[in-house]
Amino acid sequence: MTTDTAALLAAYDAQIRATPPAPPPGVTHEYDGRLLRIVGEFRGFLGTPPDLGLRGRDLDELIARQRDFFAARGEAVEWKLRGHDVPADLPDRLSAAGFVPEEEETVLIAPVAELAAGEPAPPDGVTLRRVTSAADVHRIAALQTAVWDQDMSWLAEHLLGRLATEPDDLSVHVAEADGEIVSAAWLSFRPGTEFAGLLGGSTLAEWRGKGIYRALVAARAGLAAARGVRYLHVDASADSAPILRRLGFRAVTTTTPYVWSPYAEATG
């Protein structure tokens, strides 16, 4: 089993970045050279290999084409930049084109077998369950909105669309206390790869530090193990990364969303 950090990163680049999942209805994948452009979600998304093979003016022109494409649609767009991507001046070139960096996260990977060895129970009074109903998914979107203090209502449509088209490849979980959802997280399988992704993992402030996050990780790791998945990966916030490291996850790189928005242009 691959456990060396460099080998884990190479597997991540080859499998996760090079093989995007099939788009759900209403979402399209388009390529501009080696760059993947995803259209039809709550904002555009740009995925790349570690090296697009472009430098200087050619790279600037590629960046400008993506900005202008989404500007014509009146939509924001995210360029997902990893810490080991090249050339070294790519962040500066994105900034020069009007893309603004959001909070940096850490890409962490762990072998599923190690995580699934023991499943910590949630604290007393908290139950975990898998959800599929529209009502529950809308409650998750409301939880995310409360936790992150920004409108996350789009998330409900996104998750429901995936549950409708990929019911076997998305597993959505909540932690409840007295009928209230206090935390939510989901597991995204990537058929054809050795990986599955941990997403969500947001908990109301008053319920943090009680072991709920760890229990949700373990529950999803158990499902991944049952499917024969070898590795879990996650883009972790500064709050989540220390917990995941203690569970055995290894940091392999960082990721920073660089976002261009027509609204910022209009008010800038």
Give pTM, 2 decimals. 0.91
Q: What is the pLDDT of residues 122-149, one digit of tens each?
A: 999 999 999 999 999 999 999 999 999 9
Topology agreement, domain 5-106+256-267 and domain 110-253: yes
Q: What is the pLDDT of residues 82-100, one digit of tens each?
A: 999 999 999 999 999 999 9
Within 8 A by CB and 6+ apart from 71, the residues are 260, 262, 265
Distance between CA atoms of 33 and 190, rounded to whole angstroms? 24
Q: What is the pLDDT of residues 11-49, one digit of tens each?
A: 999 999 987 877 878 899 999 999 999 999 999 999 999
Q: Is the pLDDT of residue 268 over 60?
A: no
pLDDT, residue 257, reads 98
The domain made up of 5-106+256-267 has a fold known as Aminopeptidase (3.40.630)
Q: Is the pLDDT of residue 266 over 60?
A: no
Candidates 3.30.1370.60, 3.40.630.30, 3.40.228.10, 3.40.50.10140; CATH matching 110-253: 3.40.630.30
Lowest pLDDT segment from 81-85, 97-101, 102-106, 163-167:
163-167
More confident residue, 118 or 133: 133
pLDDT, residue 117, reads 62
pLDDT, residue 16, reads 93
Domain residue limits, the chain:
5-106+256-267, 110-253
Q: Is the pLDDT of residue 1 over 60?
A: no
Q: Is the pLDDT of residue 267 over 60?
A: no
User: In the chain, pLDDT over 70 holds for what percent of residues?
Assistant: 96
User: In the chain, pLDDT over 90 holds for what percent of residues?
Assistant: 85
